[in-house]
Structure 1
């Protein structure tokens, strides 16, 4: 357990991983530990010294109908953990170093077109404090491409209205600034001046620093955000499930469809590698057809009847 605590500290302090990521790492590691003990292969994580144990675990996961994505994540977690143990001289061999996780197909995210986004905005009742708060949340997610965790962790001090920017604390400790359009600036001004104050008054923490406040006067949680989005979908009359990453995807797709450079979108999304952004380069068939008709030289050639 001391080793796991040390590893948690390493992930938090040296790797600067989020608490959510660290939690998943530890769950994956403890899952392998349970497998070792229950099957009688070893009495601890340090006792796993034979490479075939890693192969046995891979077969175990596959036979128990874990998805390829889940298996791939678990193997990656264990590979990193045993690499840490090896570098710190807890073990001599990383039994997962040569284990190849199953390839996970990269499915394109569900596409929300601009008309559907408009329905969401039109369905909002901004006459109430919660309704206006939801407007600002939706606009930030769609106009800035934020992750759920990034939106939830925003503080009042991260908002720079005078320079039309907000500071985002991204994954892996990577901070970035994103741009605010004029309408969103006005929405944030009104929210900060009137709405947020009204919501905070319902709770006990008048010095709360988080930007978004729930109906009880406390900081909004990720679970609360999902509830808000579910309610928005219900009111708009749409039938799909909406989660924050779909709005992030819609942001990137809209930017690219309207001519934004891929590397600019990469910076706005906070992607470390351009490859992560390229999944958003798909465009609608209508947009593709429109660009083709406008640009291909043969489209302007007159067709003569024989």
Structure 2
């Protein structure tokens, strides 16, 4: 049976939905691939006649007309590549011209320039198929969610202990640079991710005591800084996002997205730990209810859909 391109797109999105892809990710996929299919229709190209030069022309048009950032362009290409890979595997497409297609390397963007849709694509990606990889994904997702949810530094996520998490009030007690302590909110999506990970924790020989590290290896040892960096990069790649994702970039994304949505520089400063106040002054003068209110109103992942 011959299917139209639109029918194939609908079939692909349905499979993605079954794989528990988020609504935001599905909408981004539909928008990105539909744009490309409309371009092909205007040029009277069927899927089997598309060549890499057509892909390059389409992407060039997007840059020219919409001034897309390099990360948005990479996300757009990733959506098209995944759709065409699926079509090729299902034998709806004889050859996938997007398979080996590479964009010209762009200068690295300034920190914090990753858009919210790209962050969502990483955090809302489907879980792996194997049980072991699923468990690793639950741990990695909890790490990613907390890094973006609360703007933590690498050393802060590495040193996070069980006793530092207040699930009832959704607050983290963080020991930052200079051994300074601060309290920051975290969102419901981060809460869900950490709770799902902690169900796996005992299976990995995790010692569930207050002073134990939250993030551990399969042997029950605390996860090292380099290991965390590698897992963050790996999960971005697994989501099809071609950016050099690292913990500090997620911290910049947190700050950028919070500030652009709230305009409250003071609150963002406190959550990042960018303050000269002593630990005592923080606990005396900072209005945590105000911080939580700003957070809930401004952070893109503070609430469930």
TM-score, with normalisation over the residues of structure 2?
0.50
Structure of larger gyration radius: 1
Which structure is higher in RCO with an 8 Å CA cutoff and minimum separation 6? 2
* TM-score using structure 1 length: 0.50
